[in-house]
Amino acid sequence: MENALDDLLRILDLKKLEEDYYQGESPKEERQRVFGGQVAGQALVAAGRTVSRGAVHSLHAYFLRPGDPNIPILYQVDRIRDGSSFTTRRVVAYQHGKAIFNLSASFHIAEDGVSHQPEMPVVPDPEELPTFEERMAPWIGSSSPKRQDWITRPKPIDQRFIDPVGKVLYSIDKMPIQRVWMRADGTLPDDPLIHACVVAYASDMSLLNSAMVPHGLSWDSDNVMAASLDHAMWFHRPFRADEWFLYDQESPNAYGARALARGHIFSRNGDLIVSVVQEGLVRTF
């Protein structure tokens, strides 16, 4: 498992081509398109490498075109503003001469201020829950070879689903919610930007599933096409991505082939550390 996390850190370690231009690679996996969390995490790395003060507090991104996993991704950083308290960056990712992804990120120096947050849901501890592989083991034998490989392949993020899930990862009670414990499956460097980028990567792994729950659908259903359209995150409090965090997800609305999903990410001690909102394409056939 440590090797899978090492691979994630490797793809987040962008190659600097020249000032404000970076290049990212994709993992050697059988994918039809680049995973959205990967390009979001890499774009945030590119933005953060041009910022000397403050930590990321928000990002807003649009997935414009499917990414090609077989060629590098070029990231161009635009230094929008360097202020006394806030720094703003825009990053555009390119492949085949066209923009595939656009991100705006804002960085803020630490300040004192008011504080409040919602309560974290009461859920079982992650140690009480089966691993992803254990959860999916009953369906390996009836799955396609491609899906078997996906289930058993080492993953950089340890996921422990709380709600009952089946072969297509939807909740038995059909409510548009999903809750899952996550953490990087290994030890990360102390750099806060790396922890933010790993959570950005993980935040796209299951959020849109909450919109498909009431309809018995999943990413690999034969009768569905699903893709992230836009993604927004707000980083509220310091955290470590290699410690357990609870991703509390819900979908308040779906209509016209688009679904809205939002999530609260809590540290294990109950602090709200990140909020996420995403709209995704969900076409059925």
- Cα(202)–Cα(25) distance, integer angstroms: 18
Instruction: Count helices and strands (H / E) in the chain.
Output: 6, 12
- Cα(212)–Cα(240) distance, integer angstroms: 29
CA 203-272-1 angle, to 5 degrees, is: 40
Residue 243's CB is within 10 A of a number of other CB atoms, namely 13
Longest CA span, the chain? 58
Q: Residue 219: helix, strand or coil by DSSP?
A: coil
Give the active site residue among 158, 185, 204, 242. Answer: 204
Tell me whether residue 78 is one of the annotated catalytic residues.
no
- Cα(132)–Cα(5) distance, integer angstroms: 16
Tell me whether residue 220 is one of the annotated catalytic residues.
no
Give the active site residue among 42, 159, 171, 228. Answer: 228
Q: Residue 2: helix, strand or coil by DSSP?
A: helix
Tell me whether residue 144 is one of the annotated catalytic residues.
no
Q: Which residues are catalytic?
A: 204, 228, 278
